[in-house]
């Protein structure tokens, strides 16, 4: 309880710190923290009521509070799975302008390298990647842009130098735009959106995958339905941030993996969806995101939390 209260106090709206603004506001970017800096790659934005995709990469240095240009992606891309292993940022899948890909790339040595052997088993848009015990786990997503009837429940596992392994599918509704993170040697998945009878339905269910047992277990229902949000381990809790239902959300929720309880834990300074949250030391970082329909955020936010014990 003390840790949960600490998380709630430390991550209330007044405790988020705004850092240098993102040079090009966008959402659906891929992000990670190779080398202790926050890398934001690709994404999309709207101009004159037309959607654009970008290959731009920006790198934020928290110590100096500056954004610097990074090596551009080989092609414009948004909404790919992304994961940091060591000093390398990996991206898998995603798409642009109606195309969906399975391609994989790694940012290392000052540039992007294509990884033909690490291509996803199938093309995916809006999948979510999580790093657990040196491996990348990718869940869900859709197979065709704009066609939510192609929503999936796949779980794939990959380690550098190896091949993708198909693991037991995620139970419950097929989903995309969910939140996922690793905690205590297990993979947690929260909410998202599915398609039922041609209609989109936001989800409030939660699941945990145990790699040792190769099995999923259901968790208690969440207090809110939510999609396009983010999850991050913080102290003894998992924080669930922002997202979208009928409106764009500011609320932050703390999920206790020991009890399955979820409680309100403050707010973001701005409503944000389609964000990527990464940790550097004892701080969370996020930048950009969608703050209203077709409106991208320019904020860079830093939130402090208790390190995982």
Domains in the chain: boundaries: 2-304
DSSP string, 218-266: EEPPPSS--BS-EEEEETTEEEEE--BSSSB--EEEEE-TTT--EEEEE
DSSP calls for 60-79: EETTTTEEEE-PPPSS--BS
pLDDT for 86 equals 93
Q: How many CB atoms lie within 10 A of CB 34?
A: 19
- Cα–Cα distances in angstroms (integers) from residue 27 to residues 103, 176, 227, 229, 272, in the given order: 20, 16, 14, 12, 9
Burial (CB count <10 Å: 0-12, 13-18, 19+), residue 49: exposed
Q: How confident is the model at residue 305, as a pLDDT?
A: 67
Pick the CATH number of 2-304 from 2.120.10.80, 3.40.50.720, 2.60.40.10, 3.40.50.300: 2.120.10.80
Residue pair 301/268 in contact (Cβ under 8 Å)? The answer is yes
What gap in Å lies between CA 267 and CA 12, rounded to an integer? 5
Q: CA–CA separation, 216 vs 63, rounded Å?
A: 40
Alpha carbon 12 to chain centroid, angstroms:
20
Q: Per-residue pLDDT tens, the chain, 309 aa: give them.
A: 334 334 444 444 348 999 999 999 999 999 999 999 999 999 999 999 999 999 999 999 999 999 999 999 999 999 999 999 999 999 999 999 999 999 999 999 899 999 999 999 999 999 999 999 999 999 999 999 999 999 999 999 999 999 999 999 999 999 999 999 999 999 999 999 999 999 999 999 999 999 999 999 999 999 999 999 999 998 889 999 999 999 999 999 999 999 999 999 999 999 999 999 999 988 999 999 999 999 999 999 999 864 333
CB 272 within 8 A of CB 254: no
């Amino acid at each position: 309880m003390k840790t949960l209260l600490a998380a709630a106090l430390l991550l209330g709206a007044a405790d988020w710190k705004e850092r240098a603004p993102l040079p090009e506001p966008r959402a659906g970017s891929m992000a990670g923290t190779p080398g202790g800096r926050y890398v934001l790659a690709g994404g999309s934005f709207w101009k004159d009521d037309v959607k654009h995709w970008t290959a731009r990469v920006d790198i934020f240095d928290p110590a100096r509070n500056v954004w610097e240009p990074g090596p551009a992606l080989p092609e414009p891309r948004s909404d790919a799975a992304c994961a940091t292993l060591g000093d390398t940022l990996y991206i898998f899948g995603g798409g642009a302008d109606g195309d969906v890909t399975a391609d994989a790339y790694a940012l290392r040595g000052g540039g992007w390298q294509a990884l033909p052997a690490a291509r996803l088993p199938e093309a995916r848009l809006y999948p979510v990647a999580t790093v657990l015990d040196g491996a990348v786990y990718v869940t869900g997503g859709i197979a065709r842009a704009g066609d939510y009837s192609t929503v999936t429940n796949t779980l794939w596992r990959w380690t550098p130098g190896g091949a993708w392994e198909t693991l037991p599918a995620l139970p419950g509704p097929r989903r995309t735009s969910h939140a996922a993170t690793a905690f205590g040697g297990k993979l947690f998945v929260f909410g998202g959106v599915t398609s039922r009878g041609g209609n989109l339905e936001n989800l409030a269910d939660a699941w945990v995958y145990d790699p040792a047992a190769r099995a999923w277990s259901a968790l208690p229902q969440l207090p809110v339905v939510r999609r396009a949000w983010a999850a991050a381990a913080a102290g003894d809790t998992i924080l669930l941030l922002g997202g979208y239902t009928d409106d764009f959300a500011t609320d932050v929720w703390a999920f206790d993996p020991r009890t399955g309880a979820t409680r309100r834990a403050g707010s973001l300074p701005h409503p944000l969806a389609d964000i990527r949250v990464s940790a550097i030391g004892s701080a969370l970082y996020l930048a950009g995101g969608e703050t209203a329909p077709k409106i991208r955020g320019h904020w860079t936010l830093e939130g402090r939390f208790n390190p995982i014990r």
